[in-house]
Structure 1
Amino acid sequence: MTDCRTMIPHNTRRYAFPAVLAPVLALIFLSPAAFGQDEEAASPAQQLEQLMTTGQEQLASEDYEAALQTYADAIKVSGGQSVGAYLGRAAARKGLKEYATALEDIKNAQQALFDDPTANAQAKRLSGEIYLELGALGEALADLQEAAELLPDDPGLQFSLGKAMVLAGGAEQGKEALDKWLESGSDDEEKNAEAYRLKAQASAMLSRYDEALADVDSSLKINPDDHETYALKGFILALQENYEEAAEVLKTAIEKYEPEEGSDLPYTVAHLRRASALEEAAKQAAGDENKQLALFTEARDEVQRLLDALPDRPELARDRASALYTLGVNERMIGDLGEAVKSFSEAIDINPAMAPAYFRRGICFFHMGEERLAIKDFDKAAGLDFESPHAALWKGRTYAQLGEYYEALRAYSEAIAVSDRYTDAYMNRGLTYVKLGNYPAAIEDFDDAIRLQPSNANLYYYRGVVYQLQGDYKRAIRSLATAIDYDDQLAGAYLHMADALSAIGQSGLASDYRTKGRELSGQVSH
């Protein structure tokens, strides 16, 4: 699973900004220092006050273009000395997403501050919120923390600080700041809903999933149509391995999703997460073939819906490659190997460095009897992903299927060189040594595998069979008995136990084991 901080997308919601300017504007209006008190200077001061009031009203109504002009006039009237006018224009530019010029205005405001701590705090707050929208979390945190030291009781500032902390991975500190916002009793429902969602994200980072789900539900009570909150809930449920429920919630997230104005993009991350949840639910349904098939089919269809909706543009190529790869995975699980090879190949055409696509295509070739093609894909996958032993393991299996056992041994050894804790590599190498008649080497590999998975019945079973082949019946009996202790449905262990017991003259007990083994062999094949 993917770690939860990289799976949730950065939030870009924006809010009106008039409250940020109020303390600064009050300072400007009340101070006579800037323009003097004589009658001749009163007129521009009154003009500035009127412009500032108008600008605030325009910001409150989100008429950012008009506010931009109003604050430009205020800066001109003040002779470039009004801190509030610069900050107001910065807020207007922030609303218009003109972030670079907004930051320039904040810099100009700071040059005119004359060591005013309150005004400096407001400037830092505004720059911090701009950096937050830009995703520059380090700069955002630095400015917001400095502002919070000067204005510790400002709930809106605590909201922005909490948001920045959560997005930067500071779960505990972020929750604390967001609680201060929620405890303020604000009637800003949009911010309240987001605060609960951010708290849920923080709790998920801390693996406090019940707390996270409670906060998600609180957020949805306020805003039951927010697609991001449903997506987060689905992600948390998947972390709890409640995959079927996660898939249903992610379906709701997709239904609630509405592209931003001017966008034609589908909710890619939710489609892919839902497909992943359905895949995992199918794995949980092992033993119920009909349910597994239905879940894998639904996962395939989910990805196909994404591909149908995804515009064919160069900047979306990697999203398309990821979707094609996921489509191929589910086509393979359904048994449509030819279609899976096609999907993996299309993904590789888009992203030739996609090691998992080569690996999965190689598995398809293996099952299609195209062993040489499979080996080439496994080599390519291993060359692209040096840290994964899986491709080398499958290359070994492919060589073993071809009867090229020494090549298989080399491949399994490559897998072990990448990960010396890879049980399957030891087990498969041990089985290959058995094929070659090298029983001591096989037993050594089975011993190494048992140390890694001491409750794996099959490993004791394989080792017991090798002891039996060596004529070491007492050790064979001990190993087979342990296999049966861990899995009393392992038919082969009973049958080999019967042979070993017969070899040492315990024919009566051997008959009991043989009867049990034959009884089980009709139900379970090993």
Structure 2
Amino acid sequence: MDSIKQMNEGIQQLNKNNMSGAERAMTEAIKTDPTHAEAYLNLGKLYRKQQKWVDAEKAFRGAIENMGDKPEGDYYFEIGSVQVAQSLEPGTSRAEQEVKWRDAIKSFSEAIGLNPKLYRAHYQMGTLHEKLDEPEQADQAYRKCIELNGKYSPCFVSLGNMYIDYGFSNVAMAVLETGTKVNDTDADMWNGMGRALLNLNQPKDAVEAYKKAKRIDPDKPDVLFGLGMAYAEIPMRKEAAETLNEFVSKAGNSPEHIKKVANDTIARMDSPI
């Protein structure tokens, strides 16, 4: 019971953003009961919040080693999430990233083995297979996620955008149209619809989709770029230039080649010829 009290104290301190107090209490809980899996789990969450990825993974593995006869798929899910975060650290090479992605896929697979209905693990596996240029495996994972939770819109968005990236915008449309019926307030969903429609040479319909996305998230760079390019295709020159100028002002970390396309299109829209 002392270990539980100490862990709960750690959670309270974490909720107060008192990191040192939370770590101290959770560490004491583990010292009191070295088999307290939930204490390891919460210590891992603390380290994850601090982006101490190595410590977080070690704590989550402590939770797995001590889960006994109550196996928890979430514990493996947490490790997979940390491994993904490690792959995104600055300076990580592509080869190092791929190793981390493979490790994370294994962790998510373990999570699914313990809890087949853990739709978030299927979704994460889909994103990783997509990064590894394995569209068939990604497709299976995204569709399984949708099967398990038909209201989880990121699955529809990611699956639809993957089909667009691989040149199957007509298939993407079917996925994303279904997604909008599930969640019509997801800007990424409507942005995907705009991309698909623009690729299918339907710029007027693309404009309407992008406008819906913009109403939901007025400052989203991807939406502003897509809407501007759709206007340019109609062509609605004034609207295209205004929207793309707005994109440039909010582009932030958008790829440089996208910014160049925007600026080139603005110049073209402003030209009288």
With the length of structure 1 as denominator, give the TM-score of the two structures. 0.45
Check 1:360–1:249 CA distance in 2 against 1; reply closer, same or farther (3 A cut).
Answer: farther
1:256 aligned partner:
28
Which amino acid in 1 is paired with 2:112? Answer: I
The CA distance in 2 between the partners of 1:496 and 1:277, in whole Å, is 47
2:194 aligned partner:
430
Check 1:408–1:297 CA distance in 2 against 1; reply closer, same or farther (3 A cut).
Answer: farther
The CA distance in 1 between the partners of 2:266 and 2:215, in whole Å, is 23
Check 1:317–1:412 CA distance in 2 against 1; reply closer, same or farther (3 A cut).
Answer: same
- Of 242, 254, 269, 1:500 maps to 269
Which amino acid in 2 is paired with 1:317? Answer: P
1:341–1:364 Cα contact (<8 Å) kept: yes
- Of 367, 371, 385, 2:131 maps to 367
2:23–2:46 Cα contact (<8 Å) kept: no
The CA distance in 1 between the partners of 2:142 and 2:162, in whole Å, is 10
2:96 aligned partner:
none
The CA distance in 2 between the partners of 1:487 and 1:394, in whole Å, is 22
Paired residues for 1:204-353 under 5 Å = 226-237=6-17, 246=19, 248-257=20-29, 265-268=35-38, 270-282=39-51, 295-308=52-65, 310-313=66-69, 316-318=70-72, 321-335=73-87, 336-353=100-117
CA deviation digits over 1:410-466, x for unaligned, max 9? Answer: 111222111110000111121121111111111111100010012224322221122
1:399–1:407 Cα contact (<8 Å) kept: yes
Gaps of 5+ in 2: 88-99
Paired residues for 1:93-132 under 5 Å = none
CA deviation digits over 1:212-237, x for unaligned, max 9? Answer: xxxxxxxxxxxxx9443232111232
**Structure whose alpha-carbon radius of gyration is higher:** 1
2:170 aligned partner:
406
Check 1:299–1:414 CA distance in 2 against 1; reply closer, same or farther (3 A cut).
Answer: farther
1:415–1:422 Cα contact (<8 Å) kept: no
The CA distance in 2 between the partners of 1:369 and 1:489, in whole Å, is 23
Q: CA RMSD in A?
A: 2.6
CA-CA distance at 1:331 after TM superposition? 1.3
Aligned length: 254
CA-CA distance at 1:278 after TM superposition? 4.2
2:44–2:57 Cα contact (<8 Å) kept: yes
The CA distance in 1 between the partners of 2:251 and 2:8, in whole Å, is 45
Which amino acid in 1 is paired with 2:76? Answer: L
The CA distance in 2 between the partners of 1:489 and 1:312, in whole Å, is 46
The CA distance in 1 between the partners of 2:12 and 2:68, in whole Å, is 27
Which amino acid in 1 is paired with 2:172? Answer: A
1:358 aligned partner:
122
Gaps of 5+ in 1: 1-11, 14-224, 238-244, 283-294, 506-526
Paired residues for 1:356-395 under 5 Å = 356-395=120-159
The CA distance in 2 between the partners of 1:276 and 1:468, in whole Å, is 47
Check 1:446–1:277 CA distance in 2 against 1; reply closer, same or farther (3 A cut).
Answer: farther
Check 1:495–1:279 CA distance in 2 against 1; reply closer, same or farther (3 A cut).
Answer: farther
More moved, 416-425 vs 382-391: 382-391
1:227–1:252 Cα contact (<8 Å) kept: no
CA-CA distance at 1:255 after TM superposition? 1.5
1:393–1:425 Cα contact (<8 Å) kept: yes
1:250–1:273 Cα contact (<8 Å) kept: no
The CA distance in 2 between the partners of 1:249 and 1:304, in whole Å, is 22
CA-CA distance at 1:342 after TM superposition? 0.9
Which amino acid in 1 is paired with 2:60? Answer: V
Q: What is the DSSP-based 3-state SS (H/G/I as helix, E as strand, rest coil) of the residue aligned with 1:437?
A: coil
2:244 aligned partner:
480
CA-CA distance at 1:281 after TM superposition? 4.5
Q: What is the DSSP-based 3-state SS (H/G/I as helix, E as strand, rest coil) of the residue aligned with 1:471?
A: coil
The CA distance in 1 between the partners of 2:131 and 2:209, in whole Å, is 26
The CA distance in 2 between the partners of 1:307 and 1:364, in whole Å, is 23
CA-CA distance at 1:388 after TM superposition? 1.2
Check 1:418–1:275 CA distance in 2 against 1; reply closer, same or farther (3 A cut).
Answer: farther
The CA distance in 2 between the partners of 1:373 and 1:401, in whole Å, is 15
1:392–1:415 Cα contact (<8 Å) kept: yes
CA-CA distance at 1:329 after TM superposition? 1.3
2:30–2:40 Cα contact (<8 Å) kept: no
The CA distance in 2 between the partners of 1:463 and 1:258, in whole Å, is 54
The CA distance in 2 between the partners of 1:461 and 1:369, in whole Å, is 25
2:37–2:67 Cα contact (<8 Å) kept: no
Check 1:278–1:438 CA distance in 2 against 1; reply closer, same or farther (3 A cut).
Answer: farther
How many percent identity over aligned positions? Answer: 17
CA-CA distance at 1:258 after TM superposition? 5.2
Check 1:434–1:345 CA distance in 2 against 1; reply closer, same or farther (3 A cut).
Answer: same
Give the number of the structure with larger relative contact order, counting CA–CA contacts within 8 Å between residues 6 or more apart. Answer: 2
CA-CA distance at 1:338 after TM superposition? 0.9
Q: What is the DSSP-based 3-state SS (H/G/I as helix, E as strand, rest coil) of the residue aligned with 2:16?
A: helix
Q: What is the DSSP-based 3-state SS (H/G/I as helix, E as strand, rest coil) of the residue aligned with 2:178?
A: helix
